[in-house]
Each structure stands twice: as structure tokens, then as C-alpha cells.
Amino acid sequence: RIRPHLYITVETEIWPNHLQAAKAVGARVLMINGRISGRTVNTYRALRRFFQRVLSYYDLFSMIRTEDGERIKAFGADRKKVLINGNLKFDRLSSDIQEESREEIANSLQLSGVEKIWVAGSTKKGEEELLLHAFQKVKSEFPHLYLMLAPREIHRGDELAELIKTFGYTPLLRTGISTETKLTPDTIVILDTIGELFQVYSLATLTFCGGSLVPLGGQNPLEPAFWGKPVLYGPSMDDFLDAKGLLEEVGAGIPVNNAEELGTRVITLLQDEATLSQRGQAGREMLQKQQGASARTLMLVNKLLPD
């Protein structure tokens, strides 16, 4: 039978039966990279009495932001056990940056690496149609702009291909690209592969963060920002408020309210590429300064493990 010394939960993965079992065998319990999104506040508040008992199993809470810390205290966590240590994802993404991979991914996509490309990452159903309307608006001013769509669910590739055709563009699945492929600005590449999006962001002139023009809480805007790329997103970013706030402080995160505004903002940004580049670089430099959560978290792990 397993008798762990330490049981760690990540972000919002709270399983009461696991916590109870861990404490029953004498394990310490630690939450790392803890966050409480705005979308779940009401749920936690309604079940405060239940969560107060569940949270009592924890020995320490390592939360991302001050706001996350205050929320978990309000839901019943012992104030003396709550620490603010930043976001582990800042460190992970930084370690994934390999400048030489930019040329490799460009070659594999049959691109020269100098094209103006708008990469829309982790898009959700109902959102791509809005993006294509915005793209049409931008193309009237910048006909040589490329668009790459990376749906969150890659099995939707064929569905998106049919949608793209209705807008008059040529869809192309990433898995269908070969050395014989000739891309044009009217070809929209659908990234139907796993694990490539982060590297594809390196080719972007600017990016869009999916799950945000539809009410789904957004996706991680840090990945393009680590490549020095400006990030646009819609009003629904509740699951990534910490990252959103940091990027907006330096102008690297650009919020829009709807597809019409998205198209207008992209046009404005592309009209001043020097400022666009400065926005992206400011985001990258800011994120580099945010690193260190991994080291702080490791110190907590060592503190809770037996000698």
C-alpha cells in the first residue's frame, strides 16, 4: 500500500476523497500554482461550509496572485497557510524557447519566415466564424496577411475547412502540407497537430487567444507573449486574469469586445509595425522578470517533506 509523505494538488484540482486519504496515512498536503477563477467564485461561495472542511486538509497553499490568495481565504483556508508565489507556467514556457526552432517550423510549413502572419490559437467552436469575419475586414487593408487557425479540439479540422470555404478562402490542414505545397495569403492553415502551436507562435506578427470571444474563460496568453508577440483576446478571459493583467500593464495584451473591434484593432496595429514590435518585446521582458515560481515552490516542497 502506498503511504506518501507529501500529496500535491495543482491549480484547482481539489479531490476531497484523495485529500482525506492522504491525511489518513499521515501525508502533508500542498496546493501549488493555486488559482480561483472569477467564473467559479459563486460556486465556492455557495458551498463555503463544505469547502472550509475540505481546505482544512491542506498544510500550505501556494497561490498565483494576491487575488487568488484572498479568495481562498474567504472560502475557509487558514490565513496563516496561504502564500503568494507566482505562476509556475512562466518558468516552464521560458525553458521551451528555442530560437533555432523558428526556422525549422517555417520550413516545415513551406514559409520563408518573413510573411505577415496572424496566428489564432486554441480557438473554440463558434469563435472561428467571428475570427473569419474580422480577418475579412483586415484583408481589405492588408491583402498579404496570412491567417493560421489552431482549434483547441484538433478533430474539428474538417469542420473548419468547410467554414473557411464559405468565406472564399482555401483551407489547408497542417497534416496535408508537403514539400510540394505552395501557400498563398488566401490559404488558411488549420493546425490539426498536437504540440506545435507554441512553436508556430514564433512565426506570428500578432496573435489571438482563443476561448475569449465566446464565454469560455479564455486560454493561456503567455505562450505567444514569451516569443515577444502581442496578444489580442476577447472579453472572456476569467480563467487567466493574472496573465491578462500582467500583459496589459505593458501593452502586450490587447483586449477587444467583439469581432468588429478585433478587426479594427488588428488593422491599427499592423499600420505601425514598430510599435507592434515594441509591444511584443515589452511583454517578453516583463515575463522574464516574473520567473522564479519554480524555485519558490521547490522550497515549500522541501519544507514539507520529512528530513
Give pLDDT, residue 96: 65
Distances (CA, A) of 107 to 198, 200, 226: 16, 11, 21
Domain of residue 133: give its range. 98-289
CB distance 301 to 293 below 8 Å:
no
91 located within any domain: no
Cα 250 from chain centre: 17
Same domain assignment for residues 258 and 237: yes
The Cβ-side half-sphere exposure at 86, using a 13 Å CA radius, reads 18
Same domain assignment for residues 188 and 284: yes
Give pLDDT, residue 90: 81
Q: What are phi and psi of 4, to 5 degrees?
A: -70, 150
Per-residue pLDDT of the chain in tens (307 residues, 90 and over written 9): 788 999 999 998 889 999 999 999 999 999 999 988 776 677 767 777 888 899 999 999 999 888 899 999 988 899 999 999 988 888 877 666 676 788 899 999 999 989 999 999 999 999 999 999 999 999 999 999 999 999 999 999 999 999 999 999 999 999 999 999 999 999 999 999 999 999 999 999 999 999 999 999 999 999 999 999 999 999 999 988 888 998 999 999 999 999 999 999 999 999 999 999 999 999 999 888 888 899 999 999 999 998 7
28 located within any domain: yes
Distances (CA, A) of 28 to 31, 79, 295, 304: 10, 17, 19, 7
Same domain assignment for residues 45 and 123: no
131 located within any domain: yes
Same domain assignment for residues 13 and 108: no
Same domain assignment for residues 274 and 142: yes
Cα 215 to Cα 271: distance, rounded to the nearest angstrom: 30
Core vs surface per residue 246-273: b (16+ CB within 10 A) or e: bbbebebbbbbeebeebbebbbebbeee
The Cβ-side half-sphere exposure at 242, using a 13 Å CA radius, reads 21
CATH number of the domain residue 143 falls in: 3.40.50.2000
Same domain assignment for residues 223 and 264: yes
Same domain assignment for residues 181 and 158: yes
93 located within any domain: no
Give pLDDT, residue 13: 85
81 located within any domain: yes
92 located within any domain: no
1 located within any domain: no
Same domain assignment for residues 296 and 276: no
CATH number of the domain residue 66 falls in: 3.40.50.11720
Give pLDDT, residue 91: 82
Same domain assignment for residues 226 and 264: yes
Same domain assignment for residues 263 and 300: no
Of 191, 180, 113, the residue nearest 153 (C-alpha): 191
Q: How many domains does the chain contain in total?
A: 2
Same domain assignment for residues 144 and 12: no
Give pLDDT, residue 253: 98
152 located within any domain: yes
Same domain assignment for residues 69 and 106: no
**Which residue do the cell numbers 496515512 mark?**
25
